[in-house]
C-alpha cells in the first residue's frame, strides 16, 4: 500500500486562493497545516513532506512549526479526544488520579485510541484556563472541571 498524502482537488483550489493572500509561500504554512489536519484528522509524515514541497521549504521547517503549536497533532485521534490539564493547579488537585481513571475506564494509554475509535486522550502541559475548577479536562470543545469519577463516567457515557 502506498502511503502518500495530497490535498483533495477542492482543497488544492482553496489553497491556491489562500496563497494569494500571503507575500511568500512559506508564510502560508499555518493555513496549509490546518487544511491538512482538517482533511486527514491528523498530520502524518507524508503530509509534512507534501506541505514542504508545496511551500518550497525544507521538511525540517514544517516539523519545527508542528512541534511548536500544540493544536496540531501527528497521531490519529478518537472521535472524541480528551485533554487532561497537566499544569500545576490541576496537578495539585488530582490530575494524576484523573489520568489513572481514564486509563482504567477507556482501557488505553495516553496517545492511543480505543478499539472502536471513539476515544483517545492525552495530558496537555498548558493550563486549560480554569484553575479554580481544577482538576480540569477538555473533551472536543467542551470543558469540565472539579472532576470526579462520576463526572468522567458521565462524559464518556454521553459520547458512547
Task: Name the site residues for ligand FES (rule: CB under 6 A).
Answer: 85, 87-90, 127-131, 134, 136
Nearer to ligand FES, 22 or 91 (CB): 91
Q: Pick the closer one to ligand FES by CB: 42 or 142.
A: 142
Whose grid coordinates read 507524508?
46
Please state the closest distance from residue 118 (CB atom) to ligand FES, in A. 25
CB of 131 to ligand FES, least distance (A): 3
CA distance 145 to 7: 38
Nearer to ligand FES, 54 or 136 (CB): 136
Is the CB of 37 or the CB of 89 nearer to ligand FES? 89
CA distance 52 to 44: 13
Residue 119 β-bridge partners: 80
CB 21 to ligand FES: min, Å: 35
Q: Which residues contact 122 (CB under 8 A, 6 or more apart)?
A: 81, 82, 83, 84, 110, 111
* Distance, first Cα to last Cα, the chain: 32
Please report how close the Cβ of residue 145 comes to ligand FES at its closest, in angstroms. Answer: 8
Amino acid at each position: 500500500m502506498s502511503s502518500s498524502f495530497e490535498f483533495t482537488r477542492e482543497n488544492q483550489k482553496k489553497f491556491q486562493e489562500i496563497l494569494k493572500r500571503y507575500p511568500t509561500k512559506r508564510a502560508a504554512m499555518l493555513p496549509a497545516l490546518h487544511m491538512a489536519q482538517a482533511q486527514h484528522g491528523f498530520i502524518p509524515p507524508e503530509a509534512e513532506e507534501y506541505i514542504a514541497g508545496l511551500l518550497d521549504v525544507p521538511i525540517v521547517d514544517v516539523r519545527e512549526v508542528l512541534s511548536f503549536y500544540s493544536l496540531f497533532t501527528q497521531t490519529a485521534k478518537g472521535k472524541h479526544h480528551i485533554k487532561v490539564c497537566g499544569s500545576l493547579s490541576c496537578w495539585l488537585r488530582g490530575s494524576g488520579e484523573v489520568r489513572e481513571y481514564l486509563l482504567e475506564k477507556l482501557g488505553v494509554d495516553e496517545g492511543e485510541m480505543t478499539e472502536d475509535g471513539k476515544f483517545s486522550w492525552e495530558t496537555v502541559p498548558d493550563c486549560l484556563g480554569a484553575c479554580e475548577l481544577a482538576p480540569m479536562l477538555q473533551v472536543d470543545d467542551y470543558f469540565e472541571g472539579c472532576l470526579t469519577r462520576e463526572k468522567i463516567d458521565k462524559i464518556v457515557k454521553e459520547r458512547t
